[in-house]
Every structure is written in C-alpha cells, then in structure tokens.
Amino acid sequence: MELTYGEYGGRFVPETLIPALDELEAGWHEAWADEAFRAELDELGRSYAGRPTPLTLAERFAPGKRLYLKREDLLHTGAHKLNNALGQALLALRLGKRRIVAETGAGQHGVAAATVCARFGLDCVVYMGAEDMRRQRPNVERMGLLGAEVCAVEFGTRTLKEATSEAIRDWIGSVEKTHYLIGSCVGPQPYPEIVRELQAVIGREARGQILELEGRLPEVAIACVGGGSNAIGLFAGFLDDSEVRLVGVEAGGAASLGSGRTAVLHGSRSSVLADADGQVLDADSISAGLDYPGSGPEHAFLRDSGRAEYVTTSDEEAVEAFRRLARTEGIVPALEPAHAFARVAELDEQLVLLNLSGRGDKDLEEVLAR
C-alpha cells in the first residue's frame, strides 16, 4: 500500500471499494490536470459561491495584534465546505455518477453537499448522527429544503464518526452509481488529497491578500482542526514558507493529533483517539464539526515533521471566544473556528491569519442554552 503522507494515509477499506477508488484517483488526476475543469470550478467559485472571500482586520477582538480573518463564513452556505463540495460534484458528473452520498457532523458539509446536488440535479443522501441532528436542527431543515434525504444514524455515539461509517457502508452497497462526497481531508486515498487541493484555494487567496495588505507574510496561520479540511486548505498556502508558523486548534475532548495514537479509522492510517488495542474512542466536544476522533493523515504527517503544531481549546473557552467575537467585531463565528479564536491572545507573534471557516447561526441555540 502506498502511504501518501509519510507513514500515514493508505486505503484500509473492503475490496469492494478498491476499483472505485482506483477509478476516482485516475479521474481526479485527469480532471485536476484539465484546464477546462479548473476554469469551470473557478467560475462557479466566483459566480455561485462568492469567491474570493475577503480578509477582515479584527482590531477590537485582538488589540495589539494585526489579526486578519479569512472570511470563509461569507461563502455561500456559510462555510468553507462548499469549496470541496463544488469540486467533487463536478468530478462526480465527470465520472457519470448521479447519486451523491455524504456524511455530516455540524451539518455544514451536509448543507454544502445538498446545495451542489440541487445545483446540478443530483440525488443526495446525507448521513447524520441523531445527536448531531438535535444539536444542529437548522441545518437539518436546510438540507431537507434543498431536496436531500437526511438519514439519522442511531448507532454508537450518534455523531460524526458513526455518520461517516454509515456513509461509507452506503457507498459499499451502491458504488457503481454513487459518488461518496467526503467532507474532510480524511478517508482512503485519494480523498485526503482531493479535499486538500479543493480547499487550498483558501490559503492561496489569503496569501495573496495579506501580501497586498501588509506587504509581508503572516507570522502565524491558525485554524481549527476536526478532520482538518479548513486548516489544511489554509496551511497549503504557506507550507513552503518556513517562516510562517502553522497552528491547528483541536477541541480538548477530540484532540486526535494532540493525544491520539496511530490507528486505522475510515479507511486511512492516521492519528486517532484510540485505546491500546486499536479500538476507536469517542470524542467529546460542544462543536459537532470537531467532535470526531480522527484527523487527516497529512496533519499527522505535518505534526510529526514539526512543520505544524496542534493545540487545544476547551468547550468553555470556545463559547467565550464565540461571544467575544460577536461583541467586538459584529461577527458570529461557528463554534468550530471559535476554538481557533480562543488561542489568538496567547500567541507571541503580532501578524496573525486566522481562517474563519464558517458562520455561527447554526450554533446559536447551543451557545445560548449555556
């Protein structure tokens, strides 16, 4: 097995899926090398999604620093997830797959998947843990409005881990006509690569924007990490700039990079919250989007190589940052990026770029209830 990211990655899936992954990998490489495909995606980004998203200087939230927010919360559907969903929908069309299956935690990826399926006339089935459906009711309703079928997963923790397993099982049974639109940079090869490339637009844009505004690169690029797609998208713009410190922020109860061990989950080898027997443990976070015991294999690789570092934020700190950003900047962030905001004040550096990956409308009920 070719492990793509050092000792991480790979394809730990039942044989049934291997030919589809081969087909996907070949189709992806061909599409990504095709200028027409890239041009169509760029045009959809501009005219449908609202790219480029701006950078906002958050002076009142972070006095004494120059904190720039990459405003993925302003993207259509309210989160960075649409970047990936649009690209994979185009890929599915190219591969002749008319049915899309997806998993969702916070509901942001589910909404993005439902949105692109509506836009392209594809059938859409979204698996979502019953507990997450309770926490993220507005997104469940949005998916329904967009024409997606939302399947409640009543198994195990009833959160993102089980929803992902169910989506993969659906795909095992429907692989000939279905594309699995995974939402993060996890899963079997080539998914971590596909999601990273489709989210890299975040880092690419932000790099150009901050150079224009400040005439220099940021000292730190910081983002929240669940599976890690918004962070890898941001980091991708700065990986070769060794002077830019890369910081990923995990939820304290879901620190798969901070306190995980090497295990196999959802088709790849990565850093996972697991016990000594390789059994995957339950994550626990107020943020449904970070409530996942795994992480993308590239993040595990970046951690081991020392290129990126990973820290944690507690539920309470995230809620405090959520409220403070609303009061100081007039921006209600999603609970996921609120974890990154909570770590800004203690950074030694002055020029900071933070990926504001999504907006917080979906989290109002959860936060106001505390």
Partner 1 sequence: MRKTLVVYLMSGPETPALAEAAVDAGADLVELGFPFSDPLADGPVIRRAAERALAEGMRTGACLELLAETRARLPETPLVPMTYSSLLEAYGWERFAEEACAAGATSLIVADLPAGDRPELRRIQLVAPTSTDERIRLAAAGTDGWLYLVTVTGTTGARDDLSPALAGLVDRARRATELPLYAGFGISTPEQAHAAAQLADGIVVGTSALEAAEKGAEALAAYVESLRGALDGAAVPA
Is residue 338 within the footprint of partner 1 (CB under 8 A)?
no
11 vs 66 by CB, closer to partner 1: 11
Q: 3-state SS string over 161-180?
A: HHHHHHHHHHHHHHCCCEEE
Please pick, among 229, 256, 295, 357, the residue that the annotation labels catalytic: 357
Asked if 103 is an active-site residue, the reply is: yes
What CA–CA distance (Å, rounded) separates 293 from 257?
Answer: 9
Residue in 109, 245, 266, 303 binding partner 1, rule: CB under 8 A: 266
* Binding to partner 1 in span 51-110, by CB under 8 A: none
Residue in 84, 88, 139, 165 binding partner 1, rule: CB under 8 A: 165
Piece in contact with partner 1 (CB under 8 A), picked from 56-64, 171-179, 311-319, 339-347:
171-179
Asked if 357 is an active-site residue, the reply is: yes
Is residue 19 within the footprint of partner 1 (CB under 8 A)?
yes
Residue in 6, 144, 208, 278 binding partner 1, rule: CB under 8 A: 278
What CA–CA distance (Å, rounded) separates 58 from 329?
Answer: 7
Which string of x and - marks every residue 106-145 that binds partner 1 (by CB under 8 A)? ----------------------------------------
Amino acid, res. 94? R
What CA–CA distance (Å, rounded) separates 90 from 126?
Answer: 18
Please pick, among 81, 97, 161, 362, the residue that the annotation labels catalytic: 81
Q: 231 Cβ partners below 8 Å, 6+ apart?
A: 223, 224, 225, 248, 299, 355
- Judged by CB under 8 A, the number of residues near partner 1 is 38
What CA–CA distance (Å, rounded) separates 138 from 235?
Answer: 30
13 vs 356 by CB, closer to partner 1: 13
Is residue 20 within the footprint of partner 1 (CB under 8 A)?
yes
Is residue 283 within the footprint of partner 1 (CB under 8 A)?
no
CA atoms within 13 A on the CB side of 325: 29
Asked if 174 is an active-site residue, the reply is: no
257-260: long-range contacts, CB 8 A cutoff, minimum separation 24: 257/225, 257/295, 257/299, 257/300, 257/303, 257/310, 258/310, 258/311, 258/312, 260/293, 260/294, 260/295
Cβ-contact 240, 357 below 8 angstroms: no
Per CB under 8 A, residues contacting partner 1 are 1, 10-20, 155-156, 161, 165, 168-169, 172-176, 261-267, 269, 274-280
**Catalytic positions:** 81, 103, 357
